[in-house]
Structure 1
Amino acid sequence: MPSSAAHDIPRPEHPRPQLVRADWLNLNGQWQFEIDAADSGLERGLRERELAATITVPFAPESELSGLGHTDFMEAVWYRRTVTIPPAWAGRRTLLHFGAVDHDATVWVNGVEVARHRGGFSPFTADLSDVARPGEDATIVVRARDPRHGPQARGKQSTRYGNYECLYTRTTGIWQTVWLEPVPDVHLRRPRITPEVAASAFTVVTPLSANRPGTSVRVTVSDGNGPVATATARADVDLTPSLRLQLPEDRVRLWEPGEGFLYDVRIELLDAGGAVTDAVDSYAGLRSIAIDGKRVLINGRPVFQRLVLDQGYYPDGLMTAPTDAALLRDIELAMAAGFNGARLHQKVFEERFLHHADRLGYLVWGEFGDWGAFDGREQQPTASFVTQWLEVLERDHSHPSIIGWCPLNETSQVIGDQVTQLDDVTRGMFLATKLADPTRPVIDASGYSHRVPETDIYDSHNYEQEPAAFAGQVRGLDRDRPYVNTAGDRPVPRPAVLRQRVRRHLVEPRAGRHRPGRGPRRLLGLRSARARRGGVPRPLRRADRCAAGRPGHVRLLLHAAHRRLPGGERHLPLRPHGQARRRARPRGPVAAGRRRTLTRRRRRRLVPMVAVQRRRGHRGALAEPFLSVLSDHHAEPLTW
Structure 2
Amino acid sequence: MLKPISTSTREQILLDGLWLFALDTPDRPEPWGSVLDTRREAPVPASYNDVFADQEIHDHVGWVWYQRTVRVPRGWSGERVILRVDAATHEGVVYVGDRRVAHHIGGYTPFEADITDLAEAGAEIRITIGVNNELTNETIPPGTITTDEFGRRKQTYRHDFYNYAGLARSVRLYSVPTVHVTDVTVATDVEGATGVVDYRVEASAAAQVVVRLRDAAGVEVARAEGDAGRIEVTDAELWRPGRGYLYTLEVDLVAGGALQDRYEVPVGIRSVRVEGARFLINGEPFFFRGFGKHEDSAIRGRGFDNAIMVHDFALMEWMGANSFRTSHYPYAEEFLEYADRHGIVVIDETAAVGLNLGLGGGFHGRVTEKSFSPTMFNDNTQAAHAQGIRELIARDKNHPSVVMWSITNEPESVEDGAREYFEPLVALARELDPTRPLTYANEYRGQFHNDRLADLFDVICLNRYYGWYMETGDLVMAEHRLETELRGWQTTFGKPIIITEYGADTLAGLHAVTTQAWSEEFQTSLLQTYHRVFDRIDAVIGEQVWNFADFQTSQGVIRVDGNKKGVFTRDRRPKAAAHELRARWTAAAAAEAGSETASTS
Q: TM-score, normalised by structure 1?
A: 0.65
For 1:269 and 1:429, locate their aligned partners in 2 and report how far apart those are by CA, in whole Å: 35
In terms of Rg, which structure is larger? 1
Alignment partner of 1:141 out of 121, 128, 151? 128
For 2:120 and 2:43, locate their aligned partners in 1 and report how far apart those are by CA, in whole Å: 26
Residues 225/388 of structure 1: CA separation in 2 closer, same or farther (3 Å cut): closer
1:67-91 alpha-carbon deviations (Å, 9 max, x no partner): 9993212311111112111110111
For 1:253 and 1:430, locate their aligned partners in 2 and report how far apart those are by CA, in whole Å: 33
**Identical columns (%):** 25
- Structure 2 equivalent of residue 401 of structure 1: 401
Alignment partner of 1:433 out of 414, 419, 429? 429
**Cα deviation, residue 471, structure 1:** 5.2
- Structure 2 equivalent of residue 246 of structure 1: 232
- Structure 2 equivalent of residue 107 of structure 1: 94
Matched, 1:258 2:258: no
- Structure 2 equivalent of residue 302 of structure 1: 285
Alignment partner of 1:56 out of 30, 35, 43? 43
Matches within 5 A, 1:614-629: none
Residue pair 1:71, 1:170 contacting (<8 A) in 2 also: no
Matches within 5 A, 1:462-541: 462-465=464-467, 482-484=486-488
More deviation, 431-440/19-28: 19-28
Residue pair 2:413, 2:453 contacting (<8 A) in 1 also: no
User: Aligned partner of 1:189: which letter?
Assistant: T
- Structure 2 equivalent of residue 204 of structure 1: 199
Task: Determine helix, strand or coil for the equivalent of 1:64.
Answer: coil
For 1:156 and 1:345, locate their aligned partners in 2 and report how far apart those are by CA, in whole Å: 18
Residues 168/286 of structure 1: CA separation in 2 closer, same or farther (3 Å cut): same
Residue pair 1:218, 1:267 contacting (<8 A) in 2 also: yes
Alignment partner of 1:173 out of 161, 166, 171? 166
Matched, 1:192 2:185: yes
**Cα deviation, residue 200, structure 1:** 1.5
Task: Determine helix, strand or coil for the equivalent of 1:186.
Answer: coil
Alignment partner of 2:104 out of 117, 123, 131? 117
**Cα deviation, residue 224, structure 1:** 1.9
Residues 391/294 of structure 1: CA separation in 2 closer, same or farther (3 Å cut): same
For 1:365 and 1:72, locate their aligned partners in 2 and report how far apart those are by CA, in whole Å: 32
For 2:290 and 2:131, locate their aligned partners in 1 and report how far apart those are by CA, in whole Å: 34
Task: Determine helix, strand or coil for the equivalent of 2:102.
Answer: strand
**Cα deviation, residue 484, structure 1:** 5.0
- Structure 2 equivalent of residue 30 of structure 1: 18
Alignment partner of 1:443 out of 435, 439, 444? 439
**Cα deviation, residue 444, structure 1:** 4.8
- Structure 2 equivalent of residue 228 of structure 1: 221
**Cα deviation, residue 223, structure 1:** 2.6
More helix by share: 2
- Structure 2 equivalent of residue 324 of structure 1: 306
**Cα deviation, residue 151, structure 1:** 3.4
- Structure 2 equivalent of residue 272 of structure 1: 256
- Structure 2 equivalent of residue 613 of structure 1: none
Residue pair 2:157, 2:354 contacting (<8 A) in 1 also: no
Root mean square deviation, CA, Å: 3.6
Q: Which has the higher contact order (CA 8 A, sep 6+)?
A: 2
**Cα deviation, residue 102, structure 1:** 1.2
For 2:8 and 2:279, locate their aligned partners in 1 and report how far apart those are by CA, in whole Å: 33
Residues 459/484 of structure 1: CA separation in 2 closer, same or farther (3 Å cut): farther
- Structure 2 equivalent of residue 530 of structure 1: none
For 1:319 and 1:20, locate their aligned partners in 2 and report how far apart those are by CA, in whole Å: 33
For 1:95 and 1:325, locate their aligned partners in 2 and report how far apart those are by CA, in whole Å: 28
Residue pair 1:193, 1:204 contacting (<8 A) in 2 also: yes
For structure 1, the residue ranges without an aligned partner over 5 or more in a row are 1-13, 234-240, 486-490, 497-507, 509-567, 570-640
Matches within 5 A, 1:6-21: none
Alignment partner of 2:461 out of 453, 459, 462? 459
Residues 288/468 of structure 1: CA separation in 2 closer, same or farther (3 Å cut): farther
**Cα deviation, residue 409, structure 1:** 1.3
For 1:195 and 1:67, locate their aligned partners in 2 and report how far apart those are by CA, in whole Å: 50
Residues 65/35 of structure 1: CA separation in 2 closer, same or farther (3 Å cut): closer
- Structure 1 equivalent of residue 341 of structure 2: 359
1:601-637 alpha-carbon deviations (Å, 9 max, x no partner): xxxxxxxxxxxxxxxxxxxxxxxxxxxxxxxxxxxxx
1:423-444 alpha-carbon deviations (Å, 9 max, x no partner): 4442222111111111111015
